[in-house]
Amino acid sequence: MSLFIPKNYRNLLGSTERTEKAIKSVKDMFQLNLSAQLALLRVTAPMVVLTGTGINDDLNGVERPVRFPVKSLEDRRAEVVHSLAKWKRLKLAELKILPGRGIYTDMNALRPDEELDNIHSIYVDQWDWEKVITREDRNLTFLKQTVRRIYEAIKVTQNRIYVEFPQLVPDLPEEIFFIHSEQLLQMYPDLSPKQREDEITRTHKAVFIIGIGGRLTDGTIHDGRAADYDDWSTPTGDGYEGLNGDILLWNDILEHAFEISSMGIRVDEEALRRQLEIRNEEEKSELYFHRKLLAGELPCTIGGGIGQSRLCMYLLKKAHIGEIQSSLWPDDMIRACHAAGIDLA
């Protein structure tokens, strides 16, 4: 069990009823703010996709999806989504969405390989979003502009929640700080990637780390990324590679950097070929999604996921994601949290 119990933790919202009301307020407000900032249309998304199509995300490339046979499809196997990066791109092509507009959806997933702790659950709920861009938009400047818009949506939501729940005092900085994972390595060469995240986020409070998945100069990667959705290998023009990254906020309660979103400009044909070769996964080029992309049948896009329970946990100043969502937890974790005034759903 990996569990952090904050000293003198106090549930600022008091009753479960007020917490549930606040959760709804955050979710209602943020999705409206996000949609307005990025010009997104809400769509309905699948919870399962067929195995073997390449539509499901590989995340770090090692997580196992929940699979099962479907009787009415002659026992063809399906799997619960990990996220919807590839499905969203297919949907944008189907809807013939023009550059500058996009879609978002409520994504509900199961990730049974997650190690359960304060911020990880086997149940994942995200706002998954994807937006059509031009090839000329596939650059670091456009990525940063999009990050700033998402950050603005978070800040506006925090300020509006403060009006309704004045005990939740806003604490986000005015601007989000950008840094590349290679720069972070050079600043803190003796620290692990997570320790580097803690140091930079403790200082700047809101940080976007660029270049997640590409190899750094010490031969490591900052964190895992699959080869076939985010573009982590394209040169950015400033001596570094990567058109993706993570939004991190400093969490005073947990005393750690707190990932809110993983996002990025998606691979084009060239980046997909390059990244599949880097990861020795060229065989994936024969899958349905990959064939369509390599044939030029899918639009250029930018997209990501924003954790719903994560964002609620941060804005409502909760110590455990189980205070926001109902999931499965080890008995000893439930007991330890209850003793500290942290009641898990």
Q: Which of 262, 275, 325, 327 is catalytic?
A: 262
Which of 114, 88, 116 lies closest to 229, judged by CA? 88
Q: Which of 182, 259, 268, 323 is catalytic?
A: 259
Active site residue 269: no
CATH code: domain of residue 28: 3.30.930.10
Q: Which of 57, 128, 197, 230 is catalytic?
A: 57
Active site residue 126: yes
Active site residue 57: yes
pLDDT of residue 61: 62
Active site residue 28: no
Please state whether beta strands 40-42 and 102-110 pair in parallel, antiparallel, or not at all (unpaired).
parallel
CA-to-CA dists, residue 137 to 144, 177, 294, angstroms: 11, 21, 19
Q: Domain range for residue 240?
A: 16-339
Domain count within the chain:
1
pLDDT of residue 125: 94
pLDDT of residue 112: 87
Contact 187, 222 (CB under 8 A): no
Is there a domain that residue 7 lies in?
no
Is there a domain that residue 8 lies in?
no
CA atoms within 13 A on the CB side of 328: 8
Contact 301, 266 (CB under 8 A): yes
Contact 324, 315 (CB under 8 A): no
Q: Is 250 in a helix, a strand, or coil?
A: strand
The tens place of each residue's pLDDT in the chain, 345 residues long, gives: 489 999 989 999 988 899 999 999 999 999 999 999 999 999 999 999 898 888 887 666 677 888 999 999 999 999 998 878 889 999 999 999 999 999 999 999 888 888 999 999 999 999 999 999 999 999 999 999 999 999 999 999 999 999 999 999 999 999 999 999 999 999 999 999 999 999 999 999 999 999 999 999 999 999 989 899 899 999 988 889 999 999 999 999 999 999 999 999 999 999 999 999 999 999 999 999 999 999 999 999 999 999 999 999 999 999 999 999 999 999 999 999 999 999 997
pLDDT of residue 251: 97
